[in-house]
Amino acid sequence: MTGLHSAPPFRAEHMGSLLRPDNLLEVRAKIRDTGLSEEAAGLHEVEKVAVGDVVKMQRELGIKAVSSGEYNRTRFWGLMWDEFEGSVRLQDADASMFRLYHPDVVSLIEKDRKVMPGDSVIAGSKLSWSPSQSLSNLHELELVQQALPESEWGDIKLTMITPAWFHMRYKQGKAYTPEAYSNDAEYFQGVAAVYRDELNALYKAGLRNVQFDDPGMAYFCSKDFRKGWEEDKDNIGTVEDLLDAYIQLYNDCLSEIPADMHTGIHLCRGNFIGGRHFSEGSYDIIAKKLFENLNVNTFYLEYDTERAGGFEPLKYLPKNKNVVVGVISTKLRELEDKDAMKERIYKAADFVAAGGGETREEALKRVCVSPQCGFSTHESGYPLSLEDEKNKLKLVRQIADEIWGQP
C-alpha cells in the first residue's frame, strides 16, 4: 500500500512517554531531596533542552505523532487534576476510601493501610477550570511547539489522563465530599465541564491530537476486578452500569471539540515501575459497546502478550474509527521479529475487514502499529536502555513502511 497519510493516527505510533535523560532526573531528585525551588535548581531550562532533544530524536526516527516524552511529569497522569479548582490532594488517605480490588490501588497500599499521597485526589468542592491555574498541559504543548516548525504543530500528540481516573479507584461516593457533589451523576457533570474547558484551551493553543490514557477501561476486561466489584456491597448498580457511565463521561467531555481535533483512547494494561502490568483479560467483554458507543477516533490497544486475548474483538470496530495495534513490548529488551509482527498486523486487519465486510487492504487503512505502552509511564525504573527504546521505535517505523509505505 502506498500514498500519503498526513493526519493522525499515523501508521507508526507510540504511546507518549519516553525514557528521561539522567540530567532531568537528577534535577528533579535535587528538588525533592533538598527543597530547592524549580527555578533555583534550573529545572525549566533542563526541561526545555530535554524536550527539544527528544522531539529531534522522534523526528529522526520518522515518528510523526511527536510528544514531549512526558518529560514534564513524574507520573503519566501529570498535574492536570491538581490544577482544577476544587480538587484536594489527600495526605495519608486511609485504605478504606479505596476499592482494594482496583489493580493499581492494590500496588500502592502501604503497610499501615495508607495510600501514597500523590495518588489521592478528590473533589473537595465543586470543580472548576481556571486559566491561571491550568498550565501544565499548556506548558508541555508549548515546549514541543518550540522544537518544531509551526507547519508540524498539528502532528503533536498530548496525552491526558482519563476523566474517570480519580473515580474508579475510590469506594462508592468517596471521590468527592458531600459538600461538593451529592451523587456520581453530579460529579461526572463537573468533571466533564473542566475537561471541556481544558480541551478548549489546548485547541486554542494549537493542539489537534489528544490521547486519553485509561488503565481503568482495561480493568473492565479483568475477571478479578469484576468479581471484586460484584462482591462490594457499597456499589450502586452493576459493573456494566459503571462502564456505561464512563463512556458517557467521555462523550460529555468531548461534546464540544472541533471536528479537526483527533481523539484517541489508550487502554493501558500497566507498565509501571519495573515494567509490571496490572490488567489481564480479553477485550471481548467490552469491545462491541466500547467501539460503537465511545466517541473517539482511535483506539490504542495493547497486544504484546496473550493477556490481552486475540484480535477477534476488532470485528466490532466501526468503519469510521481506527485501531493502533500495540504489538511491540516496552517491558522486554529483546527486539521482536519484524516479519512475525507484520503477520500479527495483517491478522488484526483481517478481523477488522471481516467485521466491516471489507478487503484486507481496505481494513488496513484504519489500522496502525505501535509499542504496547509508553516507555516510561513513571519517571524511572524501566528495564530498557535508550538504545533499546530507539531500536523498538525503529522497528515500528520499519513495519509501517513495509506494510503501508507511508507515515
- The full set of domains in the chain, from first to last, is 22-72+134-171+183-403 (3.20.20.210)
CA–CA dist 188, 164 (Å, integer):
8
Tens digit of pLDDT for each residue in 206-247? 999 999 999 999 899 989 899 999 999 999 999 999 999 999
Residue 11 and residue 407 in contact, taking contact as beta carbons nearer than 8 Å: yes
Q: Mean pLDDT of all residues in the chain?
A: 91
Q: Which residue has the higher pLDDT, 50 or 111?
A: 50
Note if the pTM is more than 0.85: yes
pLDDT at position 14 is: 97
β-strand partners of 378: 75
CA–CA dist 351, 353 (Å, integer):
5
CA–CA dist 282, 222 (Å, integer):
8
Kindly report the three-state secondary structure assignment for every residue of the chain. CCCCCCCCCCCECCCCECCCCHHHHHHHHHHHHHCCCHHHHCHHHHHHHHHHHHHHHHHHCCCCCCCCECCCCCECCCCHHHHCEEEEECCCEEHHHECCCCHHHHHHECCCCEECHHHCEEEEEEEECCCCCCCHHHHHHHHHHHCCCHHHHHHCCEEEECCCHHHHCECCCCCECCCCCCCHHHHHHHHHHHHHHHHHHHHHCCCCEEEEECHHHHHCCCHHHHHHHHHCCCCCCCHHHHHHHHHHHHHHHCCCCCCCCEEEEEECCCCCHHHCCCCCCCCHHHHHHHHHHCCCCEEEEECCCHHHCCCHHHHHCCCCCEEEEEEECCCCCCCCCHHHHHHHHHHHHHHHHHHHCCCHHHHHCCEEEEECCCCCCECCCCCCCHHHHHHHHHHHHHHHHHHCCCC
Average pLDDT of the segment spanning 68-92: 92
Scanning the structure block, which residue is given the C-alpha cell 490521547?
Answer: 211
Tens digit of pLDDT for each residue in 258-314? 999 999 999 987 654 444 444 556 889 999 999 999 999 999 999 976 655 689 999
Task: Read off the pLDDT band of 58 (50, 70, 90).
Answer: very high
Residue 376 has pLDDT above 80, yes or no: yes
Residue 3 has pLDDT above 50, yes or no: no
Average pLDDT of the segment spanning 334-338: 97
Least confident of 84-98, 125-139, 353-367: 84-98
CA–CA dist 133, 260 (Å, integer):
26
CA–CA dist 12, 370 (Å, integer):
6
Tens digit of pLDDT for each residue in 8-26? 999 999 999 999 999 999 9
